[in-house]
Amino acid sequence: MRSEDSDFVLLQEIDSITQGVRAKIDEQPRVGLVLGSGLGAVADAIESPIRIPTEELNGWPRSTVEGHAGKLVFGKLEGQSVCVVQGRVHFYEGHSMSRLAVPVRVLQRLGADVLIVTNAAGGVNQNFEPGDVMLITDHINFPGMAGHSPLLGPNLDQLGPRFPDMSQAYDRELQEIAREVAAALGIELREGVYFCLAGPTFETPAELRFLQANGADAVGMSTAPEVTVARHGGMRVLGFSGISNITSLNGDRAASHEEVLETGSTIAPKLVRLIKGVIARL
């Protein structure tokens, strides 16, 4: 139920959206995947896919950005039941943090206990190169720190605690599996801290230097809210950033969404192999 003067999504609405999904599909996914800009191709690797356009789901946040087709794709990947959220939504599109976490809540209610998140990100770490894949070891949720947590509002006690622990937001065991899979596949895996900003502007050079001084290896406009909600609901999380561009700390190079989508197409095949390798070992 949407309340009159806020957009805190309550359990009743989450369960009604989940019912809408169940009416179309029998699968109970074990793993949920949320795909970032230009990385939607990961869904093409799914066997016997069943697609639900998310516009058919009342209350599902609408994606308005190029590169984010709004679909839920159910099927098998390496023998595991998965559900891919193709077309994530962002805070800058005008959704409340609570609403943009709806896809993760629905995955939880469908029974998924592992969440794999991917995003396109700018490399703040100047040793990175465009096309790299970074294993997210931790994040800084800047909008959350500034009062825009997706957990703001009434706590959904049935799903998780009022004050959730975030000491290991990214599951250590899953990280270790990802490292081993990358090594076995000969994929060089970078590692680091993902800094979430609200966007939609790319950063000024001064902002980038601020991020670098505060421990960021990559910067983007998503992921941290979804991971926060996933942890609140007790899911184990694995995250990868596709490094689409290296940010310019002195303003010599401009950033563009076209570049993000372009590099995404070279990163996607690597991510597919990595994610398949990890899922095969769950």
The CB-of-244 to ligand HPA minimum distance in angstroms stands at 5
Find tokens 């709004």 and name the residue: 70
> Using the rule CB under 6 A, which residue among 42, 52, 255, 275 binds ligand HPA?
255
The CB-of-199 to ligand HPA minimum distance in angstroms stands at 6
The CB-of-220 to ligand HPA minimum distance in angstroms stands at 4
Q: Does 244 bind ligand HPA (CB under 6 A)?
A: yes
Q: What part of residues 206-225 is at the interface with ligand HPA (CB under 6 A)? A: 219-221
Question: Which active-site residues does the annotation give?
Answer: 37, 68, 90, 92-93, 120, 221-222, 245, 257
Name the segment binding ligand HPA (CB under 6 A); options: 63-71, 108-116, 224-232, 244-252.
Answer: 244-252
Cα separation, 282 vs 279, whole angstroms: 5
The answer to whether the CB of 82 falls within 8 A of the CB of 32 is yes
Q: Which residue is nearest to ligand HPA (CB)?
A: 122
Pick from 266, 262, 276: which is nearest to 45 by CA?
Answer: 276
Q: Does 193 bind ligand HPA (CB under 6 A)?
A: no
**Pick 66 or 173: Cβ nearer ligand HPA:** 66
The CB-of-72 to ligand HPA minimum distance in angstroms stands at 23
Cα separation, 134 vs 241, whole angstroms: 5
> Using the rule CB under 6 A, which residue among 245, 270, 271, 274 binds ligand HPA?
245
**Pick 40 or 220: Cβ nearer ligand HPA:** 220
The CB-of-90 to ligand HPA minimum distance in angstroms stands at 10
- The site string for ligand HPA over 94-123 (x = CB under 6 A, - otherwise) reads --------------------------xxx-
Q: Does 264 bind ligand HPA (CB under 6 A)?
A: no
**Pick 34 or 255: Cβ nearer ligand HPA:** 255
Q: Does 170 bind ligand HPA (CB under 6 A)?
A: no
Pick from 266, 242, 244, 264: which is nearest to 253 by CA?
Answer: 244
Site for ligand HPA, rule CB under 6 A:
120-122, 202-203, 219-221, 244-245, 247, 255, 260
